[in-house]
Amino acid sequence: MKKLFTLVLALLLALSLAACGGGAGTGERVVRYGLSNAWDSLMPYNSPSGSNYSRIIYDKLYDRLAYVHADGTLDPRGAASWESADGGYAVLFHLDEGAAFHDGTPVTAAHWADTIALLTDPDCPTLGRGAFAVLAGTDDNGAAVEGETLGAEAVDTYTLKLTFKAPTTPEDFLLDKNREYYVLPTHLLEGTDPAELMTLELWEAPIGSGPCKFVSETPGSQLVLEANGDYQLGAPGFDRLVITVIDKSNLLTSLIAGDLDYYAFGGNVSVEDAQVAREAGLTVVEGTVPNYFYELMLNNETIPSAQVRRAIDLALDKATLCFQSAQGLGEPAASDLTPGTGYDSGLTWSRDVEGAKALLEQGGYDGRTYTLACTSTRAGLAALMQQELAEAGISVVIETVDSATLFAGMADGKYDMAIASHTPGALPLWFTESRFTQGNNIFHVADLTPYADFIAAIKGEGDPAARQALVAEFQAFLAEERPFIPLWFSRTLHVQSPAVDGIDYPSSTFSNENVWDWEYRSG
Protein backbone atom coordinates (compact mmCIF):
# COMPACT_ATOMS: atom_id res chain seq x y z
CA MET A 1 0.00 0.00 0.00
CA LYS A 2 2.78 2.36 1.01
CA LYS A 3 4.65 1.50 -2.18
CA LEU A 4 1.59 2.21 -4.29
CA PHE A 5 1.06 5.54 -2.55
CA THR A 6 4.70 6.51 -3.21
CA LEU A 7 4.34 5.49 -6.84
CA VAL A 8 1.18 7.60 -7.27
CA LEU A 9 2.92 10.57 -5.64
CA ALA A 10 5.94 10.21 -7.90
CA LEU A 11 3.68 10.01 -10.93
CA LEU A 12 1.79 13.13 -9.89
CA LEU A 13 5.08 14.96 -9.32
CA ALA A 14 6.36 13.95 -12.72
CA LEU A 15 3.11 15.07 -14.35
CA SER A 16 3.18 18.43 -12.61
CA LEU A 17 6.81 18.99 -13.58
CA ALA A 18 5.97 18.17 -17.17
CA ALA A 19 3.10 20.67 -17.02
CA CYS A 20 5.44 23.36 -15.66
CA GLY A 21 7.69 22.94 -18.65
CA GLY A 22 5.02 24.10 -21.10
CA GLY A 23 5.94 23.06 -24.57
CA ALA A 24 9.43 22.11 -23.52
CA GLY A 25 8.41 18.61 -22.65
CA THR A 26 6.98 18.02 -26.11
CA GLY A 27 9.92 19.64 -27.85
CA GLU A 28 7.67 22.43 -29.13
CA ARG A 29 9.33 25.82 -29.33
CA VAL A 30 6.82 28.17 -27.69
CA VAL A 31 7.55 31.87 -27.40
CA ARG A 32 5.53 33.42 -24.57
CA TYR A 33 4.79 37.02 -25.52
CA GLY A 34 3.36 39.65 -23.13
CA LEU A 35 1.14 42.54 -24.13
CA SER A 36 -0.12 45.09 -21.61
CA ASN A 37 -3.40 45.87 -23.38
CA ALA A 38 -5.75 43.67 -25.37
CA TRP A 39 -6.37 43.93 -29.11
CA ASP A 40 -9.94 44.83 -29.95
CA SER A 41 -10.51 42.86 -33.16
CA LEU A 42 -8.70 40.40 -35.40
CA MET A 43 -9.93 42.27 -38.50
CA PRO A 44 -7.40 45.04 -39.12
CA TYR A 45 -9.96 47.50 -40.44
CA ASN A 46 -12.42 46.95 -37.61
CA SER A 47 -10.38 48.24 -34.68
CA PRO A 48 -12.27 50.96 -32.79
CA SER A 49 -9.15 51.99 -30.90
CA GLY A 50 -6.74 51.73 -33.83
CA SER A 51 -4.18 51.22 -31.10
CA ASN A 52 -0.67 49.87 -31.43
CA TYR A 53 -1.77 46.90 -29.30
CA SER A 54 -4.07 45.87 -32.14
CA ARG A 55 -1.58 46.80 -34.85
CA ILE A 56 1.13 44.60 -33.35
CA ILE A 57 -1.30 41.64 -33.64
CA TYR A 58 -2.23 42.45 -37.26
CA ASP A 59 1.50 42.70 -37.96
CA LYS A 60 1.75 38.97 -37.25
CA LEU A 61 -1.39 37.74 -39.02
CA TYR A 62 -1.42 39.97 -42.09
CA ASP A 63 1.27 41.21 -44.40
CA ARG A 64 2.32 44.78 -45.02
CA LEU A 65 4.20 46.22 -47.97
CA ALA A 66 7.43 46.97 -46.12
CA TYR A 67 9.25 46.66 -42.82
CA VAL A 68 10.06 50.00 -41.17
CA HIS A 69 13.23 50.23 -39.13
CA ALA A 70 13.50 52.51 -36.14
CA ASP A 71 15.91 54.80 -38.00
CA GLY A 72 13.38 55.33 -40.80
CA THR A 73 14.98 52.96 -43.31
CA LEU A 74 12.80 50.43 -45.10
CA ASP A 75 13.12 46.76 -45.95
CA PRO A 76 11.01 44.72 -48.39
CA ARG A 77 8.18 42.68 -46.95
CA GLY A 78 5.01 42.14 -49.01
CA ALA A 79 6.64 44.22 -51.73
CA ALA A 80 10.11 43.17 -52.90
CA SER A 81 10.85 46.63 -54.33
CA TRP A 82 9.17 49.92 -55.21
CA GLU A 83 9.65 52.88 -57.50
CA SER A 84 8.12 56.25 -58.14
CA ALA A 85 5.96 56.75 -61.24
CA ASP A 86 3.78 59.34 -63.02
CA GLY A 87 5.97 62.27 -62.02
CA GLY A 88 5.83 61.43 -58.34
CA TYR A 89 2.03 60.99 -58.24
CA ALA A 90 2.21 57.19 -58.15
CA VAL A 91 4.29 54.39 -56.69
CA LEU A 92 4.75 50.99 -58.27
CA PHE A 93 5.13 48.15 -55.76
CA HIS A 94 6.68 44.97 -57.17
CA LEU A 95 5.23 42.32 -54.90
CA ASP A 96 7.19 39.38 -53.57
CA GLU A 97 6.16 36.45 -55.76
CA GLY A 98 6.74 34.01 -52.92
CA ALA A 99 4.06 35.56 -50.70
CA ALA A 100 1.00 33.41 -50.03
CA PHE A 101 -2.02 33.38 -47.78
CA HIS A 102 -2.21 30.85 -44.98
CA ASP A 103 -4.55 28.74 -47.15
CA GLY A 104 -1.84 28.49 -49.83
CA THR A 105 -3.28 31.03 -52.30
CA PRO A 106 -0.54 33.30 -53.71
CA VAL A 107 -0.80 36.99 -52.83
CA THR A 108 -1.24 39.02 -56.02
CA ALA A 109 -1.57 42.69 -56.86
CA ALA A 110 -5.29 42.01 -57.44
CA HIS A 111 -5.61 41.05 -53.77
CA TRP A 112 -4.12 44.39 -52.74
CA ALA A 113 -6.21 46.40 -55.22
CA ASP A 114 -9.41 44.52 -54.29
CA THR A 115 -8.68 45.01 -50.58
CA ILE A 116 -8.39 48.77 -51.05
CA ALA A 117 -11.46 48.89 -53.30
CA LEU A 118 -13.51 46.99 -50.75
CA LEU A 119 -12.42 49.09 -47.77
CA THR A 120 -12.92 52.40 -49.53
CA ASP A 121 -16.43 51.39 -50.58
CA PRO A 122 -18.70 53.90 -48.82
CA ASP A 123 -21.02 51.04 -47.81
CA CYS A 124 -18.27 49.18 -46.01
CA PRO A 125 -18.08 50.13 -42.29
CA THR A 126 -14.29 50.43 -42.39
CA LEU A 127 -12.60 51.80 -39.29
CA GLY A 128 -9.40 53.74 -39.92
CA ARG A 129 -10.43 54.46 -43.50
CA GLY A 130 -8.70 57.84 -43.25
CA ALA A 131 -5.47 56.03 -44.15
CA PHE A 132 -6.77 55.76 -47.73
CA ALA A 133 -7.52 59.47 -48.03
CA VAL A 134 -4.12 60.01 -49.63
CA LEU A 135 -5.16 57.92 -52.65
CA ALA A 136 -6.63 59.45 -55.77
CA GLY A 137 -10.36 58.89 -56.17
CA THR A 138 -11.13 59.13 -52.45
CA ASP A 139 -12.62 61.89 -50.33
CA ASP A 140 -11.11 63.40 -47.17
CA ASN A 141 -12.38 60.44 -45.15
CA GLY A 142 -10.83 57.86 -47.47
CA ALA A 143 -14.12 56.77 -49.05
CA ALA A 144 -14.17 56.17 -52.81
CA VAL A 145 -15.77 58.96 -54.81
CA GLU A 146 -18.31 57.77 -57.32
CA GLY A 147 -17.27 58.36 -60.92
CA GLU A 148 -13.58 58.77 -60.09
CA THR A 149 -10.89 56.16 -60.61
CA LEU A 150 -9.58 54.75 -57.38
CA GLY A 151 -5.81 55.09 -56.99
CA ALA A 152 -5.19 51.37 -56.40
CA GLU A 153 -4.63 49.25 -59.48
CA ALA A 154 -3.14 45.85 -60.32
CA VAL A 155 -0.82 46.61 -63.26
CA ASP A 156 0.01 42.94 -63.61
CA THR A 157 -0.10 39.88 -61.37
CA TYR A 158 2.65 41.11 -59.10
CA THR A 159 2.72 44.88 -59.65
CA LEU A 160 0.54 47.16 -57.58
CA LYS A 161 0.19 50.80 -58.52
CA LEU A 162 -0.96 53.32 -55.94
CA THR A 163 -1.81 56.78 -57.25
CA PHE A 164 -1.92 59.73 -54.88
CA LYS A 165 -3.68 63.07 -54.80
CA ALA A 166 -0.36 64.87 -54.33
CA PRO A 167 3.19 63.94 -55.29
CA THR A 168 4.39 61.39 -52.75
CA THR A 169 7.67 59.52 -52.60
CA PRO A 170 7.52 55.78 -51.85
CA GLU A 171 9.51 56.38 -48.66
CA ASP A 172 7.14 59.10 -47.43
CA PHE A 173 4.14 56.90 -48.11
CA LEU A 174 5.60 53.83 -46.41
CA LEU A 175 6.94 55.68 -43.37
CA ASP A 176 3.57 57.31 -42.88
CA LYS A 177 1.06 54.66 -43.89
CA ASN A 178 2.73 51.25 -44.06
CA ARG A 179 1.32 50.09 -40.72
CA GLU A 180 -2.21 50.86 -41.91
CA TYR A 181 -2.13 48.96 -45.20
CA TYR A 182 -2.73 45.20 -44.99
CA VAL A 183 -3.70 42.75 -47.69
CA LEU A 184 -6.87 40.73 -47.07
CA PRO A 185 -7.78 37.33 -48.58
CA THR A 186 -10.22 38.83 -51.09
CA HIS A 187 -10.49 35.47 -52.89
CA LEU A 188 -12.47 34.35 -49.82
CA LEU A 189 -14.61 37.49 -49.88
CA GLU A 190 -16.05 37.22 -53.38
CA GLY A 191 -19.74 38.07 -53.44
CA THR A 192 -19.62 39.54 -49.94
CA ASP A 193 -21.79 42.57 -49.38
CA PRO A 194 -19.34 45.33 -48.29
CA ALA A 195 -21.80 46.33 -45.57
CA GLU A 196 -21.48 42.84 -44.07
CA LEU A 197 -17.69 42.59 -44.28
CA MET A 198 -16.96 43.12 -40.59
CA THR A 199 -19.44 40.51 -39.41
CA LEU A 200 -17.97 37.57 -41.34
CA GLU A 201 -16.96 34.47 -39.40
CA LEU A 202 -13.63 34.64 -41.23
CA TRP A 203 -12.38 37.25 -38.72
CA GLU A 204 -12.93 34.86 -35.82
CA ALA A 205 -10.23 32.60 -37.27
CA PRO A 206 -8.58 34.92 -39.78
CA ILE A 207 -6.57 33.85 -42.78
CA GLY A 208 -3.89 36.36 -43.62
CA SER A 209 -0.52 36.21 -45.31
CA GLY A 210 1.61 37.32 -42.35
CA PRO A 211 4.46 35.45 -40.68
CA CYS A 212 2.11 33.76 -38.16
CA LYS A 213 -1.06 31.73 -38.55
CA PHE A 214 -4.09 31.90 -36.28
CA VAL A 215 -4.61 28.97 -33.90
CA SER A 216 -6.99 30.12 -31.15
CA GLU A 217 -8.14 33.17 -29.26
CA THR A 218 -9.48 33.87 -25.79
CA PRO A 219 -10.81 37.37 -26.48
CA GLY A 220 -9.12 40.04 -24.42
CA SER A 221 -6.82 37.57 -22.80
CA GLN A 222 -4.80 35.23 -24.99
CA LEU A 223 -4.01 34.65 -28.64
CA VAL A 224 -2.21 31.55 -29.86
CA LEU A 225 -0.45 31.72 -33.24
CA GLU A 226 1.80 29.31 -35.04
CA ALA A 227 4.74 30.03 -37.30
CA ASN A 228 3.98 30.38 -41.01
CA GLY A 229 6.63 28.04 -42.41
CA ASP A 230 6.05 29.36 -45.93
CA TYR A 231 6.48 33.05 -45.13
CA GLN A 232 8.36 34.71 -47.98
CA LEU A 233 11.01 36.28 -45.72
CA GLY A 234 11.66 33.00 -43.92
CA ALA A 235 9.90 30.88 -41.33
CA PRO A 236 9.97 32.23 -37.77
CA GLY A 237 12.32 30.23 -35.57
CA PHE A 238 9.61 29.03 -33.22
CA ASP A 239 6.59 26.77 -33.43
CA ARG A 240 4.04 28.76 -31.49
CA LEU A 241 3.65 32.33 -30.33
CA VAL A 242 1.41 32.63 -27.28
CA ILE A 243 0.39 36.25 -26.77
CA THR A 244 -0.98 36.91 -23.30
CA VAL A 245 -2.40 40.14 -21.89
CA ILE A 246 -0.56 41.00 -18.69
CA ASP A 247 -0.80 44.16 -16.64
CA LYS A 248 1.95 46.60 -17.56
CA SER A 249 3.39 46.60 -14.04
CA ASN A 250 3.82 42.82 -14.18
CA LEU A 251 5.58 42.54 -17.54
CA LEU A 252 9.12 42.88 -16.27
CA THR A 253 8.54 40.73 -13.20
CA SER A 254 7.01 38.05 -15.43
CA LEU A 255 10.08 38.19 -17.67
CA ILE A 256 12.36 37.92 -14.65
CA ALA A 257 10.31 35.06 -13.22
CA GLY A 258 10.53 33.22 -16.54
CA ASP A 259 6.79 33.37 -17.21
CA LEU A 260 7.41 35.41 -20.37
CA ASP A 261 10.07 35.29 -23.08
CA TYR A 262 9.46 38.79 -24.42
CA TYR A 263 7.01 41.63 -24.14
CA ALA A 264 5.86 44.32 -26.56
CA PHE A 265 7.01 46.83 -27.55
CA GLY A 266 10.63 45.86 -27.62
CA GLY A 267 10.77 45.03 -23.92
CA ASN A 268 10.75 48.71 -22.97
CA VAL A 269 11.83 49.57 -19.42
CA SER A 270 12.45 52.70 -17.45
CA VAL A 271 15.93 53.48 -16.17
CA GLU A 272 14.92 52.35 -12.69
CA ASP A 273 13.34 49.11 -13.82
CA ALA A 274 16.40 48.48 -15.98
CA GLN A 275 18.48 48.28 -12.81
CA VAL A 276 16.10 45.66 -11.44
CA ALA A 277 16.32 43.75 -14.74
CA ARG A 278 20.13 43.85 -14.71
CA GLU A 279 20.23 42.63 -11.13
CA ALA A 280 18.02 39.73 -12.21
CA GLY A 281 20.63 38.78 -14.80
CA LEU A 282 18.89 40.17 -17.88
CA THR A 283 20.67 42.22 -20.52
CA VAL A 284 19.44 45.76 -21.06
CA VAL A 285 20.39 47.79 -24.14
CA GLU A 286 19.80 51.45 -24.90
CA GLY A 287 17.59 52.42 -27.81
CA THR A 288 19.35 53.89 -30.81
CA VAL A 289 16.72 56.41 -31.94
CA PRO A 290 14.15 58.56 -30.12
CA ASN A 291 11.10 56.52 -29.19
CA TYR A 292 9.11 59.23 -27.46
CA PHE A 293 8.26 62.81 -28.18
CA TYR A 294 6.77 64.77 -25.29
CA GLU A 295 4.67 67.83 -25.91
CA LEU A 296 2.61 70.23 -23.85
CA MET A 297 -0.66 70.53 -25.72
CA LEU A 298 -2.13 74.02 -25.53
CA ASN A 299 -5.69 75.17 -25.97
CA ASN A 300 -5.23 78.16 -28.28
CA GLU A 301 -8.82 79.24 -27.66
CA THR A 302 -8.43 79.65 -23.89
CA ILE A 303 -4.82 80.83 -24.27
CA PRO A 304 -5.40 83.05 -27.31
CA SER A 305 -2.25 85.15 -27.02
CA ALA A 306 0.83 83.82 -28.83
CA GLN A 307 2.97 85.81 -26.37
CA VAL A 308 1.44 83.98 -23.42
CA ARG A 309 1.96 80.65 -25.17
CA ARG A 310 5.59 81.56 -25.85
CA ALA A 311 5.93 82.67 -22.22
CA ILE A 312 4.83 79.21 -21.08
CA ASP A 313 7.49 77.74 -23.37
CA LEU A 314 10.20 79.99 -21.93
CA ALA A 315 9.11 79.39 -18.32
CA LEU A 316 9.48 75.63 -18.51
CA ASP A 317 12.81 74.10 -17.59
CA LYS A 318 12.75 71.40 -20.25
CA ALA A 319 16.15 70.03 -19.25
CA THR A 320 14.96 69.31 -15.70
CA LEU A 321 11.62 67.99 -16.90
CA CYS A 322 13.38 65.75 -19.40
CA PHE A 323 15.78 64.48 -16.76
CA GLN A 324 12.92 63.77 -14.36
CA SER A 325 11.07 61.82 -17.02
CA ALA A 326 13.77 60.21 -19.16
CA GLN A 327 16.57 60.14 -16.58
CA GLY A 328 19.38 60.95 -18.93
CA LEU A 329 17.95 59.27 -22.02
CA GLY A 330 16.58 62.38 -23.68
CA GLU A 331 17.28 65.89 -24.90
CA PRO A 332 15.10 69.01 -24.72
CA ALA A 333 13.44 69.91 -28.00
CA ALA A 334 12.80 73.22 -29.72
CA SER A 335 10.70 71.62 -32.46
CA ASP A 336 8.81 68.45 -33.28
CA LEU A 337 11.38 67.36 -35.89
CA THR A 338 12.81 64.02 -34.84
CA PRO A 339 16.59 64.23 -34.28
CA GLY A 340 18.66 62.17 -36.67
CA THR A 341 16.17 62.23 -39.52
CA GLY A 342 18.00 64.81 -41.63
CA TYR A 343 15.50 67.59 -41.04
CA ASP A 344 16.56 70.50 -38.87
CA SER A 345 14.55 73.45 -37.63
CA GLY A 346 17.61 75.54 -36.80
CA LEU A 347 15.88 76.46 -33.53
CA THR A 348 17.42 76.21 -30.08
CA TRP A 349 15.87 76.16 -26.66
CA SER A 350 16.86 77.84 -23.41
CA ARG A 351 14.89 78.73 -20.30
CA ASP A 352 14.28 82.44 -19.68
CA VAL A 353 11.97 83.22 -16.76
CA GLU A 354 12.44 86.99 -17.05
CA GLY A 355 11.71 86.82 -20.77
CA ALA A 356 8.59 84.81 -19.95
CA LYS A 357 7.42 87.48 -17.49
CA ALA A 358 7.91 90.19 -20.11
CA LEU A 359 5.96 88.20 -22.69
CA LEU A 360 3.15 87.62 -20.20
CA GLU A 361 2.86 91.36 -19.73
CA GLN A 362 2.86 91.95 -23.48
CA GLY A 363 0.29 89.22 -23.98
CA GLY A 364 -2.02 90.71 -21.34
CA TYR A 365 -2.03 87.68 -19.05
CA ASP A 366 -4.70 88.41 -16.47
CA GLY A 367 -3.48 85.99 -13.79
CA ARG A 368 -6.12 83.41 -14.53
CA THR A 369 -5.51 79.85 -13.40
CA TYR A 370 -5.02 77.33 -16.19
CA THR A 371 -5.96 73.67 -15.94
CA LEU A 372 -3.15 71.26 -16.75
CA ALA A 373 -4.29 67.70 -17.48
CA CYS A 374 -2.01 64.71 -17.19
CA THR A 375 -2.19 60.98 -16.60
CA SER A 376 -1.45 59.68 -13.10
CA THR A 377 1.98 58.43 -14.15
CA ARG A 378 2.93 62.01 -15.06
CA ALA A 379 1.59 63.67 -11.93
CA GLY A 380 5.14 64.35 -10.72
CA LEU A 381 6.05 65.90 -14.03
CA ALA A 382 2.97 68.10 -13.87
CA ALA A 383 3.83 69.17 -10.32
CA LEU A 384 7.30 70.17 -11.49
CA MET A 385 5.80 72.16 -14.39
CA GLN A 386 3.41 73.82 -11.97
CA GLN A 387 6.35 75.05 -9.87
CA GLU A 388 8.29 76.27 -12.92
CA LEU A 389 5.30 78.13 -14.34
CA ALA A 390 4.63 79.65 -10.91
CA GLU A 391 8.15 81.12 -10.97
CA ALA A 392 7.13 83.13 -14.02
CA GLY A 393 3.79 84.03 -12.43
CA ILE A 394 1.59 81.57 -14.31
CA SER A 395 -0.97 79.86 -12.14
CA VAL A 396 -1.89 76.25 -12.88
CA VAL A 397 -4.04 73.54 -11.27
CA ILE A 398 -3.45 69.90 -12.12
CA GLU A 399 -6.14 67.43 -13.18
CA THR A 400 -5.06 63.81 -13.11
CA VAL A 401 -7.12 61.83 -15.61
CA ASP A 402 -6.81 58.75 -17.80
CA SER A 403 -5.41 59.07 -21.30
CA ALA A 404 -8.76 58.88 -23.12
CA THR A 405 -10.26 61.59 -20.90
CA LEU A 406 -7.19 63.74 -21.42
CA PHE A 407 -7.48 63.74 -25.22
CA ALA A 408 -11.27 64.04 -25.11
CA GLY A 409 -10.92 66.97 -22.68
CA MET A 410 -8.44 68.72 -24.95
CA ALA A 411 -10.65 68.13 -27.97
CA ASP A 412 -13.67 69.51 -26.08
CA GLY A 413 -11.71 72.50 -24.84
CA LYS A 414 -12.15 71.48 -21.20
CA TYR A 415 -8.45 71.73 -20.39
CA ASP A 416 -6.05 74.57 -21.11
CA MET A 417 -3.00 72.38 -21.44
CA ALA A 418 -2.08 68.71 -21.24
CA ILE A 419 1.05 66.58 -21.21
CA ALA A 420 1.14 63.98 -23.98
CA SER A 421 3.74 61.74 -25.56
CA HIS A 422 3.91 60.19 -29.02
CA THR A 423 6.03 57.79 -31.01
CA PRO A 424 7.99 60.08 -33.33
CA GLY A 425 8.30 59.55 -37.06
CA ALA A 426 11.01 60.21 -39.58
CA LEU A 427 8.89 62.49 -41.78
CA PRO A 428 9.00 66.26 -41.20
CA LEU A 429 5.21 66.43 -40.87
CA TRP A 430 4.76 63.31 -38.76
CA PHE A 431 3.37 65.37 -35.91
CA THR A 432 1.87 68.47 -37.46
CA GLU A 433 0.06 67.09 -40.49
CA SER A 434 -2.73 65.41 -38.57
CA ARG A 435 -3.11 68.12 -35.92
CA PHE A 436 -3.90 71.13 -38.02
CA THR A 437 -6.98 69.92 -39.86
CA GLN A 438 -10.61 70.88 -39.36
CA GLY A 439 -11.35 67.31 -38.33
CA ASN A 440 -8.62 67.20 -35.69
CA ASN A 441 -7.97 70.73 -34.52
CA ILE A 442 -7.02 69.56 -31.05
CA PHE A 443 -5.11 72.78 -30.28
CA HIS A 444 -8.21 74.85 -31.14
CA VAL A 445 -6.30 77.07 -33.54
CA ALA A 446 -8.60 79.85 -34.80
CA ASP A 447 -7.19 80.04 -38.34
CA LEU A 448 -5.74 76.85 -39.78
CA THR A 449 -5.01 78.35 -43.20
CA PRO A 450 -1.32 79.22 -42.72
CA TYR A 451 -0.65 75.80 -41.19
CA ALA A 452 -2.48 74.01 -44.02
CA ASP A 453 -0.56 76.08 -46.61
CA PHE A 454 2.80 75.20 -45.10
CA ILE A 455 1.88 71.52 -44.84
CA ALA A 456 0.68 71.37 -48.46
CA ALA A 457 3.82 73.14 -49.67
CA ILE A 458 6.14 70.79 -47.79
CA LYS A 459 4.27 67.70 -48.98
CA GLY A 460 4.38 68.86 -52.57
CA GLU A 461 8.09 69.69 -52.58
CA GLY A 462 10.19 66.90 -54.02
CA ASP A 463 13.58 68.59 -53.94
CA PRO A 464 15.27 67.74 -50.59
CA ALA A 465 17.00 71.12 -50.17
CA ALA A 466 13.90 73.13 -51.01
CA ARG A 467 11.88 70.91 -48.72
CA GLN A 468 14.32 71.44 -45.85
CA ALA A 469 14.05 75.21 -46.37
CA LEU A 470 10.25 75.01 -46.22
CA VAL A 471 10.40 72.84 -43.11
CA ALA A 472 12.65 75.37 -41.37
CA GLU A 473 10.28 78.18 -42.36
CA PHE A 474 7.31 76.26 -41.01
CA GLN A 475 9.13 75.55 -37.74
CA ALA A 476 9.97 79.24 -37.36
CA PHE A 477 6.28 80.01 -37.84
CA LEU A 478 5.35 77.38 -35.23
CA ALA A 479 7.88 78.88 -32.80
CA GLU A 480 6.30 82.29 -33.28
CA GLU A 481 2.72 81.06 -32.89
CA ARG A 482 3.56 78.30 -30.38
CA PRO A 483 0.26 76.38 -30.76
CA PHE A 484 1.86 73.51 -28.79
CA ILE A 485 5.11 73.26 -26.88
CA PRO A 486 7.66 70.64 -27.91
CA LEU A 487 9.28 69.39 -24.73
CA TRP A 488 11.82 66.66 -25.44
CA PHE A 489 12.69 63.53 -27.37
CA SER A 490 13.77 60.50 -25.40
CA ARG A 491 15.06 57.06 -26.08
CA THR A 492 14.09 53.94 -24.24
CA LEU A 493 15.86 50.92 -22.80
CA HIS A 494 15.12 47.42 -24.02
CA VAL A 495 15.32 44.29 -21.91
CA GLN A 496 16.71 41.54 -24.09
CA SER A 497 14.74 38.34 -24.21
CA PRO A 498 16.49 35.53 -22.33
CA ALA A 499 14.97 32.97 -24.73
CA VAL A 500 14.68 34.53 -28.18
CA ASP A 501 17.45 35.77 -30.48
CA GLY A 502 17.19 38.04 -33.51
CA ILE A 503 14.66 40.53 -32.17
CA ASP A 504 14.90 44.03 -33.66
CA TYR A 505 14.05 45.75 -30.38
CA PRO A 506 14.08 49.43 -31.45
CA SER A 507 11.80 48.84 -34.46
CA SER A 508 9.15 47.16 -32.30
CA THR A 509 8.19 50.59 -31.05
CA PHE A 510 7.01 51.34 -34.58
CA SER A 511 4.40 48.56 -34.47
CA ASN A 512 6.30 46.05 -36.55
CA GLU A 513 8.29 43.08 -35.34
CA ASN A 514 10.65 40.96 -37.42
CA VAL A 515 9.32 37.64 -36.13
CA TRP A 516 10.65 35.88 -39.25
CA ASP A 517 14.13 36.55 -37.88
CA TRP A 518 13.34 35.41 -34.34
CA GLU A 519 15.01 32.24 -33.16
CA TYR A 520 13.80 30.48 -30.04
CA ARG A 521 16.86 29.53 -28.04
CA SER A 522 15.67 27.95 -24.80
CA GLY A 523 13.64 28.70 -21.70
Partner 1 sequence: MRRGERSGRSPLARLLRDRRAALCLAILAAELLAVLLLPPLLGLEPYASDLEAGFWAPPSAAHPLGTDDVGRDLLARLVYGGRVSLGVGLCSAALSALVGVPLGLLAGYRRGAWEFWIMRLADVLQSFPSIVLVLCLVTLAGPSAVNLVLVLGLLGWTDIARLVYGNTLSVREKEYVLAARALGGRTGRILRRNILPNVISPVWCALPLRAGRAILSESSLSFLGVGIRTPQASWGGLIQYAASLPVLAERPWVWVPPAACMLLTVFCLQGVGDGLRDALDSKIRNPSHRKLNSFFTKSGPKCDKIN
Site for partner 1, rule CB under 8 A: 249, 252-253, 272-273, 275-276, 320, 323-324, 374, 376, 379-384, 386-387, 397-400
C-alpha dist (Å) from residue 58 to 176, 193, 514, 518: 17, 23, 13, 17
Provide, rounded to whole angstroms, the least separation between the CB of residue 391 and partner 1: 11
Provide, rounded to whole angstroms, the least separation between the CB of residue 325 and partner 1: 10
Using the minimum distance from each CB to partner 1, give the nearer residue, 248 or 422. Answer: 248
Using the minimum distance from each CB to partner 1, give the nearer residue, 381 or 471. Answer: 381
**Cα radius of gyration (the chain):** 25
Using the minimum distance from each CB to partner 1, give the nearer residue, 81 or 275. Answer: 275
Torsion angle of alpha carbons 274, 249, 511, 259, nearest 10°? 80
Using the minimum distance from each CB to partner 1, give the nearer residue, 243 or 487. Answer: 487
Classify residue 185 as exposed, middle or buried by CB count within 10 Å of its CB (0-12, 13-18, 19+).
buried
Antiparallel, parallel or unpaired: β 369-374 and 417-422: parallel
Torsion angle of alpha carbons 238, 265, 290, 45, nearest 10°? 100
Q: Which long-range contacts (CB under 8 A, 24 or more apart) does 196-200 make?
A: 197/118, 197/124, 197/125, 197/126, 198/43, 198/45, 198/46, 198/125
Provide, rounded to whole angstroms, the least separation between the CB of residue 255 and partner 1: 12
CA dist., res. 151 & res. 172, Å (int)? 17
Provide, rounded to whole angstroms, the least separation between the CB of residue 332 and partner 1: 15
Provide, rounded to whole angstroms, the least separation between the CB of residue 379 and partner 1: 4
CA dist., res. 197 & res. 116, Å (int)? 13
Using the minimum distance from each CB to partner 1, give the nearer residue, 307 or 403. Answer: 403
Name, in order, each residue with C-beta under 8 angstroms of 241's C-beta and a sequence gap of 6 or more.
30, 31, 33, 60, 212, 224, 225, 226, 227, 515
Provide, rounded to whole angstroms, the least separation between the CB of residue 252 and partner 1: 7
Provide, rounded to whole angstroms, the least separation between the CB of residue 403 and partner 1: 12
Using the minimum distance from each CB to partner 1, give the nearer residue, 249 or 348. Answer: 249
Using the minimum distance from each CB to partner 1, give the nearer residue, 209 or 375. Answer: 375
